[in-house]
Amino acid sequence: MATNSTVRDLSTKHRPVSDLFPRADTAEACARYRLTDEQIAFYDENGYLSGIQILDDAQVDALRAELQELFDPAHPGHHLFYEYHSNESADPSHVLFHALGAWRIMPGFHDLLWNPAFTVPAAQLLGGAVRFWHDQLFCKPVHHGGVVAFHQDYSYWTRTQPMAHLTCWIGLDDATSDNGCLQYIPGSHRFSLLPITGIAGGMEAVREVLTPEQLARFQPFAVELKKGQCAFHHPLMIHGSYENRTDRPRRAAVVNAFRDGVASASDKPLLEGVPPIPPGQKMGGQFFPLLCDPAVL
Ligand SMILES: O=C(O)CCC(=O)C(=O)O
- Domain with 76, as residue range(s), is 27-262
Residues 6+ apart with CB under 8 A from 219: 185, 186
CATH number of the domain bearing residue 125 = 2.60.120.620
Q: Whose CA is nearest to atom 3 of ligand 1?
A: 241
Question: Could you tell me the distance, in angstroms and rounded to a whole number, from the CA of residue 181 to the centre of ligand 1?
Answer: 9
Give DSSP secondary structure letters for 32-95.
TTPPPHHHHHHHHHHSEEEEEE---HHHHHHHHHHHHHHT-TT-TTGGG-SEEEE---SSGGG-
Contact 181, 173 (CB under 8 A): no
Instruction: For residue 12, tell me if it sits in a domain.
Output: no
Instruction: Tell me how far apart the alpha carbons of residues 70 and 88 are, in angstroms, rounded to a whole number.
Output: 11
Query: pLDDT digits over 236-295, tens only?
Result: 999 999 999 999 999 999 999 999 999 999 999 999 999 999 999 999 999 999 999 877
Question: Could you tell me the distance, in angstroms and rounded to a whole number, from the CA of residue 182 to the centre of ligand 1?
Answer: 7
List the end-to-end C-alpha distance of the chain, in Å, as a whole number. Answer: 42
Instruction: For residue 2, tell me if it sits in a domain.
Output: no
Instruction: For residue 226, tell me if it sits in a domain.
Output: yes
Instruction: For residue 31, tell me if it sits in a domain.
Output: yes
Instruction: For residue 282, tell me if it sits in a domain.
Output: no
pTM of the model: 0.95
Instruction: Tell me how far apart the alpha carbons of residues 169 and 172 are, in angstroms, rounded to a whole number.
Output: 10
223 lines ligand 1 (CB under 6 A): no
Weakest-pLDDT range from 97-111, 141-155, 179-193, 276-290: 141-155
Looking at the structure of the chain, the number of domains it has is: 1
